[in-house]
Amino acid sequence: MVHGDMGTLQLCLLILAGLFGLSALEGAAEKMTAWIQPYPPAPTMYHQLMLSCEVTGDASVKEFLWEKEGSRDPLQKGQSNVLIFKSFNESHLGTYICTATGSLGTAVATYELWIDDLINQVFVFPRETKDSYVLVRAKPEQPLLNFTVCLRSYTDLARPHSLFSYATKEQDNEILLSKPKPTEYHFYVGGKFVTFRVPESFSTSEHVCASWESPTSIVRFWLNGKPWPRKGLQKDYVVGAEAAITLGQEQDVLGGGFDARQSFVGEISDVYMWDRELTTGEVKAAMNNNPSPAPIFGWRNFPYKIHGEVYLKG
C-alpha cells in the first residue's frame, strides 16, 4: 500500500517533469521556426524558381544552410535565405532542407519540390458538365508574339467542344482551339479564328498542334504530325500574358463563363505550349512527349489543378 503510494507519487512527478520538459521545448519552438516558400508558388519548368527560407521568432539569424536530401555536399551556406534555380528542371526535383542558425538556436524546414509528370496518363472528362475542368497553373512570362500549342484528344462527341481555352481579361477567346464539328477545328487568336477541315476520325485519338506568328500573321496546323496548308490571322496582334488556361471548358470570361454545351467529354493528354513556332520535326517530337525546344509548360512537368469531375488515369 505504502509502496503503491510512493510509486504513484513518483509517476506523478515523472509526468509533471515530462509536461514541463515538453512545454519548455514548445516555448523554444515558438521562439524560432522556419519554413520554405517557393516563388513563384507554382513552379514552371525552365523558368526561374526561388526557394525562400522564412524564419520567425529570431531577427538575428546569421546563417542559412541549404541541403538536398540524398546529396552529400551542402548546396549553399551563408547569409542568404534564398536558393535560386535559374532554369528549374527535372534535375532539381527532390526534398530540400534549410537550417537557420541564430543566437536563439537553430530551426529546420523541409520542402518537397515536386510537379506532376503525366506521361502515360490522361485527363478523363467523364460527362457533360458546366463546371468540371483542368486549370493549367502556368502561363507565359511575357506577352506572346509567337506561340505553338499541342495536345491529344480522344472523344466521340459530335457537338461543338473546346479543347484549349486561353482567356485574358480583355479577350475570352485570346487563344482557343475548338472543334465545332467532327470534321473541323477552329483556331482563335485574339477573338478571330481560322478553320481547318479534317477527316472524321473514328475510334482513334487525334494529336493537334497549332501555331501563330504575329509579324507574318501565319497560322500553322498539324494533325497527327502532318502539316496542313498555312493560313493567316491577326497580323501584329499581341497575345496577353495575364491569362487563365482551361482544358475541358470554354471560357467566356477570365476563368469562367462556362457552357455545358461546349464542354469536353472524353480524354485529353500531351498538352504543351511554347513561345515560338515549331517545325514539323519538333511537332513530331512533342507527339512522342520528347519536347524540344523547352516549352512554357509541358506534359512532362505539368502544373495543374482539377476542378469538379475530372480524373487522372493511366
Ligand X SMILES: *[C@@H]1O[C@H](CO)[C@@H](O)[C@H](O)[C@H]1NC(C)=O
Locate all alpha helices (DSSP H) within the chain, ordered by sequence.
2-31, 280-287
> DSSP letter at 298?
B
Quote the CA–CA distance of 307 and 269 in Å, as a whole number.
16
User: Which of Ca ion, ligand X, none lies near 89, with the C-beta cut-off 5 to 8 A by kind?
Assistant: ligand X
Smaller CB separation from Ca ion, 81 or 251: 251
CB contact at 8 A, 167 and 276: no
Smaller CB separation from Ca ion, 174 or 270: 174
User: Which of ligand X, Ca ion, none lies near 87, with the C-beta cut-off 5 to 8 A by kind?
Assistant: ligand X
CB contact at 8 A, 236 and 124: no
User: Which of Ca ion, ligand X, none lies near 145, with the C-beta cut-off 5 to 8 A by kind?
Assistant: ligand X
Quote the CA–CA distance of 82 and 287 in Å, as a whole number.
37
CB contact at 8 A, 172 and 277: no
| Shortest Cβ 222–ligand X spacing (Å) | 17
| Shortest Cβ 247–ligand X spacing (Å) | 25
CB contact at 8 A, 303 and 116: yes
User: Which of ligand X, Ca ion, none lies near 203, with the C-beta cut-off 5 to 8 A by kind?
Assistant: none
| Shortest Cβ 169–Ca ion spacing (Å) | 13
Smaller CB separation from ligand X, 222 or 264: 222
Strand partners for 109: 98
- Grid cell at residue 45: 519548368
| Shortest Cβ 200–ligand X spacing (Å) | 33
3-state helix, strand, coil in the chain (%, to 5): 15, 45, 40
| Shortest Cβ 101–Ca ion spacing (Å) | 54
Quote the CA–CA distance of 138 and 129 in Å, as a whole number.
24
Smaller CB separation from Ca ion, 172 or 275: 172
Smaller CB separation from Ca ion, 164 or 212: 164
Single-letter amino acid, residue 64: F
User: Which of Ca ion, ligand X, none lies near 101, with the C-beta cut-off 5 to 8 A by kind?
Assistant: none
What is the contact surface with Ca ion in residues (CB under 5 A)?
Answer: 172-173, 252
Residues in the chain: 314
User: Which of Ca ion, ligand X, none lies near 172, with the C-beta cut-off 5 to 8 A by kind?
Assistant: Ca ion
User: Which of ligand X, Ca ion, none lies near 276, with the C-beta cut-off 5 to 8 A by kind?
Assistant: ligand X
Smaller CB separation from ligand X, 67 or 250: 67
Return the sign of the alpha-carbon dihedral for residues 253, 278, 151, 202: positive
What is the contact surface with ligand X in residues (CB under 6 A)?
Answer: 87, 89-91, 145-146, 213, 215, 276
Smaller CB separation from ligand X, 242 or 259: 242
